[in-house]
A = this chain, B = another copy of it.
Amino acid sequence: MTTTFALRELADFLKAELQGDPESEIRRLNTLQDGGTGDLAFLASNAYRRYLQDTRATAVILSREDAVGFTGNALIHPNPYVAYAKVTALFQPVSGEAAGIHPTAVVDETAIVPASACIGPWAVIESGVQLGEAVIIGAGCFIGANSVIGDNSRLHPHVTVYQGSAIGQRAVVHSGAVLGADGFGFANEGGRWLKIHQLGAVEIGNDVEIGACTTIDRGALGNTVIGSGVIIDNLVQIAHNVRVGDGSAIAGCVGIAGSTVVGKHCVLAGGVGLVGHIELCDGVTVTACSMVTSSIATPGVYSSGTPFDDNRQWKKNAIRFGQLDEIYRRLAKLEKQPTK
């Protein structure tokens, strides 16, 4: 499959100002460094500015400021990264999913499946499920009883949705994700763990993306709630009764323990851990691999951990970490000594 656009078509699509030959043929997106004939590149970060003058890409998306002195074909846009994001939609291979239910799918007769929905091979749709218009259920997905999935949502192959889950419109859920498994709730009775049956559900807003092998547990009593416009990467664990506010972003390998509340427009970088029962206000960013052990009430950027170092040097310092309180006390004692 080849998609070809005239540069002017892309300028129209992006509402961008066109510089150069409007009939240049664009067949692919590429980086400034690797771009060649037929490629549209973009400049969205100063780090890549050095590649601009020598790029062999047919055209470049850039800001008015960066366009100064650039004589090649260009699409001038106030936010080149947003423009690039928008144009990727045009170059995405058309997914071959035709509407209809694959003959091998097992669909309960009480499930509501519009004619515009697409259900892949080996999918299982249990009783009382409601699918919206144009929903795509990939091969081998399991949709538990009474779950609801909104219009235009897509579940890639091998997604598991436990009973009673609610997913909004335009969701994208990647393979291996598990929504609505039991939260990790047990009471200890004399050394024995007694299961607390998890009676809540999972509730996911509109325009949410959920990465591969990410797990979002059902609530113990109330629901686990993911707001609208939230984006979640791969291998993320979201425990029971967590609430994530609209527009937040959660990168890979993050773990959020039970009942924690993440505000709106927060960013949790890769590997972050949040303990349970805390609250992050709106607009909190946590840097990679940091652990947050108490609530944060002020927007801003937060971190924990230590910088990496050569192992031998690190060991010397790490040992001293275990003496830090002693170091502090010895320092304080010295300070109290009379000086001349």
Contacts and interface: CB of A to CB of B under 8 A. Distances in A.
A49 to B, nearest CB: 15
A127 to B, nearest CB: 7
Interface residues of A, number: 133
Interface string A295-337: 0000011111111111111111111111111011011001101
Contact of A197 (B88, B196, B292, B328): B88
A195 B156 contact: no
Interface string A163-197: 11000000010111010011011111101111111
B271 A252 contact: no
Given A85-B196, A96-B145, A327-B328, A305 B304 contact: yes
Given A176-B176, A184-B211, A247-B193, A316 B325 contact: yes
Contacts of A191: 247, 265
Nearest to A83: B187
Nearest to A39: B221
A176 B287 CA distance: 28
User: Within the oligomer, what is the number of copies of this chain?
Assistant: 3
A234 B192 contact: no
A235 to B, nearest CB: 5
Given A211-B184, A316-B325, A301 B291 contact: no
Q: Is the interface of A mostly helix, strand, loop or mixed?
A: loop
A38 to B, nearest CB: 14
Nearest to A47: B277
A31 B215 CA distance: 24
Contact of A308 (B84, B92, B292, B328): B292
A4 to B, nearest CB: 15
A229 B194 CA distance: 9
Nearest to A308: B304
Given A247-B192, A252-B239, A92 B197 contact: yes
Most chain B beta-carbon neighbours within 10 Å: one of A30, A106, A127, A197: A197
Interface in A224-241: 229, 231, 233-235, 237, 239
A197 B89 contact: yes
A271 B291 contact: yes
A325 B334 contact: no
Contacts of A96: 126-127, 145
Contacts of A102: 106
6 contacts: A85-B194, A89-B195, A174-B181, A239-B252, A291-B305, A320-B325
Interface of A: 29-31, 34, 79, 81-82, 84-86, 88-89, 91-93, 96, 102, 104, 106, 120-122, 124, 126-127, 138-140, 142, 144-145, 156-158, 160, 162-164, 172, 174-176, 178, 181-182, 184-189, 191-199, 207, 209, 211-213, 215, 217, 221-222, 229, 231, 233-235, 237, 239, 247, 249, 251-253, 255, 257, 265, 269-271, 273, 275, 286-293, 300-325, 327-328, 330-331, 334-335, 337-340
